[in-house]
Structure 1
């Protein structure tokens, strides 16, 4: 196993309101034991002499954290910094927006071409695609491959919103839209569930992070999907997470499988915290996402998604 010079990685879920507590999860690789350990799972709350937000910087410095993965966009949509007289999203001349719009149109035009040239075959395939098939593999095709699902086609027709979406959103739709929708009943939108309050809070936090820390963006749902693709998890593990009665047991099963397959040791008191608190669970999954980056096991993004700026990590298992 090759591990880069930096041998620790932290994850911190930023979702929630001002009164919600964050959890700072640090995992570290120990050369002597050839194993990863969950070193710290700290709850971000006001401490003696320190406000919770300021405690984060203190922890980063005390634990000599070099890399931190958060579930928050590190870049803005194109509209945020645009000073043009706006012609509307459908006529936007900004290169980033034009590039995605052209790619969306290309997929839709190909779909129309297939439908017009082979209408009967298209309809048969459409009806077959609508049928529930227990034997059909979850990864039989990626979302952008024809025949497009009805839901993905609707998503593309709604268009790319440059005040809401980044280029990387479209890349995620291409490869994960159908699986994301099936497992989580939602789609990926960079700023779809981000409140002004959290935007302001993260802006404050980011200014107070040490200047030498490497920040990355992660997405808990994408990491869970990749754990499923890697045969570490089962569909029901993820689906049961949202069940009121089965959620705790589902998180325990997921953590145990990750612990076994990814060689991560978790102390009992940390395990109990992760299992019982969904925010702590999310922070742990983000730390696991960062671990894969240290091992150079992450997906590569095309240049049009501006990966050097977005710094989004999608792990491979």
Structure 2
């Protein structure tokens, strides 16, 4: 019998009193099926019992890999390498690399303005028109013409105490899509509180030393599910609707379950549908599925992939 593979996930974004969920999916090679094996709720107000439950959960299922939704690496300003005496051993030129790439994009866009300003303005106005059935993947964010919002983001600058080089890569390929679908932007340390990071570092003391961590983002996962035509644009809109969010999650999960061959038991399905925090962890588990399948997108070296361990999933069916 072929060895069973599994990967866990944990979404900790939310308020101080929010519960969070560990999610575990397993792959059985002999039947070529994925199973949502376990959902573990962890309550902040029961800290001691929660820590024991977490440790037991990871040990009992022999989990070796865990996907989370907050930064595993430091911002650019803290990435320089110092020795024990505080002497700089090697300087990280990531900031210069990213700033040069931003300058190149803005210079190329300005070149188009200078060459034919009238045509540029016509195409700009056309791009700004509201077209409800427009394919959001018809062009990448960094393709010319740059959108007004993306240009504003680039001119605002790359903040070394707020961003990682990964941020620019995400902006380049997802900025417009995330803005349109979720009305927000990706910023490594703009979307997460220090409390969450400290909270995780405390909980992590209970984890085995050989546990490997990965980072993923729920919004990017949904964008890639949309790109692979597993879900629809309206599904994402409905997920953000307070009144019909439960029905939207059920419909979305059913589509994912069918297209990605993941079996979900009824009692776990009920938890995912009723609890947005559990649903977020489930999305992270889908990114983990990509890790086990070795389908996740390879990021360039300047994004520090070995430090961030960031997952850009590819859900296109073979």
TM-score of the superposition, structure 2-length normalised?
A: 0.91
State the partner residue of 2:22: 24
Contact 2:4 2:28 in 1 (8 A): no
**Is 2:251 the partner of 1:246?**
no
**Is 2:202 the partner of 1:204?**
yes
Unaligned runs of 5+ in 1: 85-92
The 5 A counterparts of 1:195-274 are 195-274=193-272
State the partner residue of 1:89: none
Give 1:42 shift: 1.0
State the partner residue of 2:69: 71
SS in 1 for 2:9: strand
Give 1:49 shift: 9.9
Contact 1:6 1:294 in 2 (8 A): no
Q: How many residues align?
A: 306
Contact 2:109 2:145 in 1 (8 A): yes
Give 1:33 shift: 2.6
TM-score of the superposition, structure 1-length normalised?
A: 0.92
Task: Select which of 168, 181, 184 maps to 1:183.
Answer: 181
Contact 2:216 2:312 in 1 (8 A): yes
In 2, the alpha carbon distance for the partners of 1:52 and 1:245 equals 31
State the partner residue of 2:103: 105
Give 1:220 shift: 0.6
**Alpha carbon RMSD of aligned pairs, Å?**
2.0
State the partner residue of 1:87: none
With 298-307 and 56-65 compared, the bigger mean Cα shift is at 56-65
Unaligned runs of 5+ in 2: 83-90
Contact 1:142 1:174 in 2 (8 A): yes
> Residue deviations 1:71-90, cap 9 Å, x none?
01100102235599xxxxxx
Give 1:213 shift: 1.1
In 2, the alpha carbon distance for the partners of 1:8 and 1:47 equals 29
* Structure-2 change in CA distance of 1:155 and 1:267 (3 Å): same
In 1, the alpha carbon distance for the partners of 2:47 and 2:20 equals 18
The 5 A counterparts of 1:6-85 are 7-45=5-43, 50-81=48-79
Give 1:50 shift: 4.1
Contact 2:4 2:26 in 1 (8 A): no
> Residue deviations 1:31-82, cap 9 Å, x none?
3432111110111137999431342222111110111100011001022355
